[in-house]
A = this chain, B = another copy of it.
Amino acid sequence: GKMSDDISGSHTDWLTLNIGGRLFTTTRSTLVSKEPDSMLAHMFREKDVWGNKQDERGAFLIDRSPEYFEPILNYLRHGQIIINDGINLLGVLEEARFFGIEQLAEQLEVAIKNSHPPEDHSPLS
């Protein structure tokens, strides 16, 4: 059934990303389906095409911030932007732009504009 396949991944392609030293396990479908035009989707659309380098455990190496990548991966999983208190939105925006996830970047820009009073546009949340 569909639900079983979605969750347990019995027919899906699992991969692990090594983002700046922290490991994230997900499916190729999560990286590719939600935002098919993003650079991240392009990187993982087809197996072994981009020549992504892997660490000794087989995790794909990406030289970016693990902390700010976390809400981005969740967004790709379920489509919601959910960010904890205390996490700097500018950090998430920076990663969204880097990975070319345009729709997410635009929503974050609006959220940043709304969450700060005009006089408080510092890079330090």
Residues of A within 8 A of B (CB): 3-4, 7-10, 12, 14, 16, 18, 20-27, 30, 39, 43, 50-53, 55, 60-65, 67-68, 70, 73-74, 77-78, 80-91, 94, 98, 111, 114-115, 122-125
- The majority secondary structure among interface residues of chain A is mixed
Contact across chains for A88 and B83 when beta carbons are under 8 A apart = yes
User: Cα distance A8–B61 when bound, in Å?
Assistant: 7
**How far apart sit A25 and B17, CA to CA, in the bound complex (Å)?**
12
Q: Establish whether residues B111 and A94, one from each chain, have CB atoms under 8 Å apart when the complex forms.
A: no
In the complex, 26 of the A-B residue pairs with CB atoms within 8 angstroms, ordered by the A residue number, are A4-B51, A7-B52, A8-B43, A8-B50, A8-B61, A9-B61, A9-B63, A14-B61, A20-B26, A21-B23, A21-B25, A21-B26, A25-B55, A25-B63, A26-B63, A27-B63, A30-B63, A74-B91, A81-B123, A82-B90, A84-B87, A84-B91, A84-B125, A85-B86, A111-B122, A111-B124
